[in-house]
Copies of this chain bind each other. A is one copy, B any other.
């Protein structure tokens, strides 16, 4: 049976019109004001011929206008593709074409990227936020209800092989994610969630969704700045913040003797396992860290450490949110305590699948469970410990990097015969990628790096590329990425 819920923003604006919805620098918008802004942008976007069930892509920053436009698209029942502005034009164009976006809306700061896209993909309709503002309004009706099975957003992730895949996030996925989080963290009247993570990632978008569902404000920052954030967390205005390890590390390092305000009750830590010393430093400083595990496919956290366990189970990602389940499959058997295996997850917050990828959908799901590819174990009490993100995944400053994508670029160079990429620990970013190549013909590291530079977002470019005689492979000639570190020069060994 199809479940509909009243249009989240419209309902929130009706129920609690005057509560704060959004705070940015020195300006605040109430829910009724946010709804009005969303309607204005919806009318302007309508004037470009965009209508129900179309797809619109956003290349945006963490700014109020972005929030208005995201809600505007939801008012129109339009699917939104969230682009990572750190990607190269050709990476972006792949996603724009794959999602069949009818329109790209860019932040004014990204006009150069937009121009580059236009050069290569001139049939795509483009606009900037500034241009949008000057468009005429076209009468439109905001939807009364959100259909939980409708696609709300699409976010691309790369897999272990092949092209990036668009993760479909329904309104229901976002709803259940927000509800699952609420049943774990609670909802208090004075809650306020700080968003310094990118809105184009699920960590950021999910904060916007929760704000409207819970009726609490988002404090939005364009960029993470540990000094400003530390100051803000001392005011008592913020009760919850989402971070990745790199951010938290910087915050802790720059935090002076004074801790955070007692109203600050949750530092929600995602984006890969956190180093134990960092967690211990937080415990010492009284920072209430909630480690969590999640991914684009689970519409943010799906496993979170409950308040009462935060100290006792330091280092664990916790237990599933109430509506969700997890199991560990190791050699076909499930949930043997302390036995590592692949993490499977299930729940109404889990994506219904990847856009245009029947094969990936077939391979990634089993009896309604998503096979994450990540490795972990559960202890006797059922607490999850994540050991490795998808055997190959590199997480660098909260961004996911897939070795296969970089290897493909290296292999495209005529002088490269074989390529392998893996991650090594990095003090600032957690991890960074490094590459290994077997050559046909001589070529310098610099040339390879500049070749990568043309095709890959900056954060994906290997920090170093090593030349090797051969790469470690198994019997069936499959690259063993984990063994790449064994052929590192002695002085770089980890």
Contact = CB atoms under 8 A, between A and B. Distances in A.
Contacts of A186: 186-189
A215 B6 contact: no
Interface residues of A, number: 35
Interface string A176-193: 000100110011110000
B3 A3 contact: yes
Given A183-B213, A186-B186, A187-B186, A15 B323 contact: no
A188 B18 CA distance: 23
A471 to B, nearest CB: 44
A147 to B, nearest CB: 11
B215 A16 contact: no
Contacts of A214: 183
Nearest to A215: B183
A306 B187 contact: no
A182 B187 contact: yes
Nearest to A11: B322
Nearest to A189: B186
Nearest to A318: B15
Contact of A306 (B16, B322, B324): B16
A175 B1 CA distance: 15
A214 to B, nearest CB: 7
A16 B187 contact: no
Nearest to A144: B325
A188 B190 CA distance: 12
A308 interface: yes
A236 interface: no
A187 B325 CA distance: 22
A325 B144 CA distance: 10
A183 B189 contact: no
A186 to B, nearest CB: 4
A159 interface: no
A348 interface: yes
Contacts of A188: 186, 188
Nearest to A1: B149
A307 interface: yes
A287 B29 CA distance: 32
B306 A15 contact: yes
A33 to B, nearest CB: 16
Contacts of A3: 3, 172, 348
A211 to B, nearest CB: 12
B323 A6 contact: yes
Contacts of A306: 15-16
A44 B468 CA distance: 69
- Of A5, A306, A322, chain B has the most CB atoms within 10 Å of the CB of A322
A397 interface: no
Nearest to A8: B322
A319 interface: yes
Interface string A314-339: 00000110111100000000000000
Interface string A292-313: 0000000000000011100000
Contacts of A308: 16, 18-19
Given A179-B179, A182-B182, A6 B325 contact: yes
Contact of A322 (B2, B15, B324, B348): B15
Nearest to A184: B15
3 pairs of A and B residues whose beta carbons are closest in the complex: A186-B187, A5-B323, A15-B319
Given A3-B172, A5-B322, A6-B324, 20 more contacts: A3-B348, A5-B323, A5-B348, A11-B322, A14-B319, A15-B320, A15-B322, A16-B308, A18-B308, A179-B179, A182-B182, A182-B187, A183-B187, A183-B213, A186-B186, A186-B187, A186-B189, A187-B187, A189-B307, A213-B322
